[in-house]
Structure 1
């Protein structure tokens, strides 16, 4: 059985891009040994309000469940409730080299905006992520393009550990579902739809039907008014076509044929808005039921216990290999 690990930060509200690009694909991993983690300790690499972080952590867990993950099949848990994550993270940080951490693209982008006030946690984020993955001896990790570099560092650190202390960790690979959709901002289709950007270019999973419709109607397109896919010359309409295809199950060519006699983009946008609203409605209804009930805490507590059993065993193996354990079993 393949071991899958995935983590999402509770640092913003989840978007349609998060769902189509990641969470919708998670369902396909439910027959494997899968761990889905709310990585709240990663969120504090930038300042967080305690009350808001707590609420977003619970909300993210509820959205995991509302999106179709079955807690009887997969392990859903909060990172900070399994201390082995931070313990192995220190080991991975000790194995990391400053140069390779400073070359991480995400670090350079985020640090560049902070000038001299750069939290050390931003630099240490990748080895902490490596610890998350290696703790469960993950075979595969569902990651987007922006996380590929971090996964490569995870493999490097695992190899470095194995070389120095003996074969201990598996080398994980990227798990990329063929149907995964990269959803771009509705206002700037050259940038990914971001959960940290609260603007009209981002559709949130909990947006109301009216808000979803308004955002799609205002989505940037072009003046040609002909519906066809051309990522270079028509990035806006190409983005909308990709979203339509991902939700409807139709190919882009089939959608183009469907609207070839329709003038302008108006009707297409109306129909796309209806598709998105239809997709989100049952997720939102399920989410509201979960948040109103008491089952969520039981699921997260059970998930943390199951995760800790595996994590603690693999942490001990690493500590024994390094000589950190007083006795080697």
Structure 2
């Protein structure tokens, strides 16, 4: 089987074995105009490059789909996309590592991403650990990153506070994340509000490297979806739907692989308020969350959604939301089951995706090492 040796190819050779006939609503994104002139390695690129990373931990849920995965799939024709399963990031808390679980989770996540519409003929999909340049660049960037910058990171402080022993990997997690992005000269990085600080840190690290040596990196900009990006917990609409809480609280989230029955039960059990019917302009957090889900999956403007359900009882609203969620997620679940049964195909996609991005990573790393006197 021939392998891709150039990032310019449309896709890996094995991608011709399958065609994904998925239809996704177009998503309008808010993008700040690039402030960086771009490193020479990016010269001549026809599309802006987007780097997206996702950890192979926990079960992906409806919030992940609305806030990230549906956006990734919908924009494959618009951008030069690199999708990375960041398995090295899953090692930052060693006490939580389950070796066999991690091995299986990487492949399962690949199957789910493909089922959600990631097309290997248009985008690169690979494992972070398959490209050693990620770890090598992370070390080089760590050498120029002040420790104080890392100690101020909000996620580090919150996670460290819950641990008895804090490993260096947790502290340097944002440096590896910066390396992931900068390695591919990414113009844009899809982020939620809780990740904006990490993108700013990646920009700061790049600027510091430029000041110490010479400009080599593209400064990434956040790619933000203006609505529907924050789906709240069904059991508590004041907190964001999350993979970690879903493991602790059964009614918190809807997993992408849940059966139609489980989806309907979850939506019908969602917290609302003591009222009986929907009144636009007087929405409680729970009711507003249900409408946000409906708005995001239907692609309809919020005023139209509120007008449709005005005066209807909460049970009717929930049934409509449940129907829409089932019609969206059940095809994904069925595609996932079919893909996950073909381990050989998944492994081949991930290997060829790594081959596809390797020349980009190698070019950046070689220039960084040359500027630092290592070659």
Pairwise TM-score range, normalised by the shorter structure = over 0.9
Deviations, residues 169-215 of structure 1 (Å, cap 9, x unaligned): 11000011345531111111121111122221111101111111111
- Deviation, structure 1 residue 259: 2.2
Using the TM superposition, give the Cα deviation of residue 296 of structure 1 relative to its aligned residue in structure 2, in angstroms. 1.2
Judge conservation of contact 1:22–1:180 (CA < 8 Å) in 2: no
Cα contact 1:228–1:237 (8 A) shared by 2: no
Question: Residue 27 of structure 1 aligns with which residue?
Answer: 73
Deviation, 1:318, is: 0.5
Q: 2:363 & 2:125 partners in 1: Cα distance?
A: 18
Q: Which runs of at least 4 in structure 1 moved beyond 6 Å after TM superposition? A: none
Give 2:365's aligned residue.
315
Q: State how far apart, in whole Å, the 2-side matches of 1:318 and 1:180 are.
A: 39
Say if 2:336 is the partner of 1:287. yes
Unaligned runs of 5+ in 1: none
Distance 1:56 1:112 in 2: 27
**1:210 and 2:265 are equivalent in the alignment:** no
Q: CA offset at residue 225 of structure 1?
A: 2.7
- Partner Cα distance (1:142, 1:222) in 2: 33
Unaligned runs of 5+ in 2: 1-46
Say whether residues 1:57 and 2:88 are aligned partners: no
Cα distance change, pair 185–163 in 1 and its aligned pair in 2 (3 A): same
1:150-299 matches, within 5 Å, as: 150-197=198-245, 198=247, 199=249, 200-228=251-279, 234-262=284-312, 264-293=313-342, 294-299=344-349
Whether 2:56 is the aligned partner of 1:10: answer yes
> For 1:55-85, what per-residue CA distance to the aligned partner results, in whole angstroms no more than 9, with x for missing partners?
1111111111111111011100000010000
* Higher RCO by CA contacts (8 Å cutoff, separation 6 or greater): 2
Query: Is the 1:143–1:175 Cα contact (8 Å) retained in structure 2?
Result: yes
The counterpart of 2:165, out of the listed 97, 111, 117, is 117
Check conservation: 2:254, 2:266, Cα contact below 8 A: yes
The root-mean-square deviation of aligned C-alpha atoms, in Å, is 1.5
Mapped partners of 1:112, 1:12: distance in 2: 21
User: Is the contact made by 1:92 and 1:127 (CA closer than 8 Å) also made in structure 2?
Assistant: yes
Q: Give the TM-score of the pair, scaled to structure 2.
A: 0.83
1:317 positional shift: 0.7
**Structure 1 residue 299: Cα displacement:** 0.8
Q: Would you say 1:67 and 2:113 are equivalent positions?
A: no
Question: How many angstroms does 1:30 deviate by?
Answer: 1.3
